[in-house]
Structure 1
């Protein structure tokens, strides 16, 4: 990236940062913005509430804990052991490995998965553009596919 592009990128990021910081202040003073747009408050994220009240339920001794096991235990996945069978299937010769994923519009539009799929195809072989819906309600929605239908 040349020096001019770096400078432009820096000024764009700086401008966005300034706008993000100043928008709540401008929003509070503008009737049009108040009526038509929501605001956010950055100070609430970083400053503690000085009038916070202690939760009375947290210290109530009449509460009885029936189980020490939490209903929402978090499973931690770390390392490559959980992906071992996936990579073994990719390395098998002569077979086809199908990868299914569930996602939203950034998956359907192929914004994230295009890079992942391209990397896997370069590493393990293969080609194609991945899942393509029969039709799409937005023409040009998918960047890696040209859809034409009537």
Structure 2
């Protein structure tokens, strides 16, 4: 790949998929945390209209992700990027289940305003909404990837 200058664009496209994927997740984590833990003290509370606007922008990012993954002519960049993004899942599983014994660390529980030894993380008020947001984001990415084509 290093001998092919265009190979660097492929690496850039793949890394951009990972960046925009985790950007989408981070922007949506704001409203999920706001719904599930409204009582938790925060150093700064994002105004609700700004939080809603940022959530909308996360879906715009998803559109750009799907449309832009093949900008440099690499139709497999989106798929390669999604595969590389899944490589972090075993790291999270190792940390949570092996190192932390399947429980959140005491400091994380304290940050959420819960008891350190609590086995219950509190009521999940967001319900199915986070899963719907993930499905909507994935649908937007796949639709944009299918719809947008570079001119021949």
Shorter-chain TM range is under 0.3
Larger of the two Rg values belongs to structure? 1
Which has more helix, going by share of residues?
Answer: 2
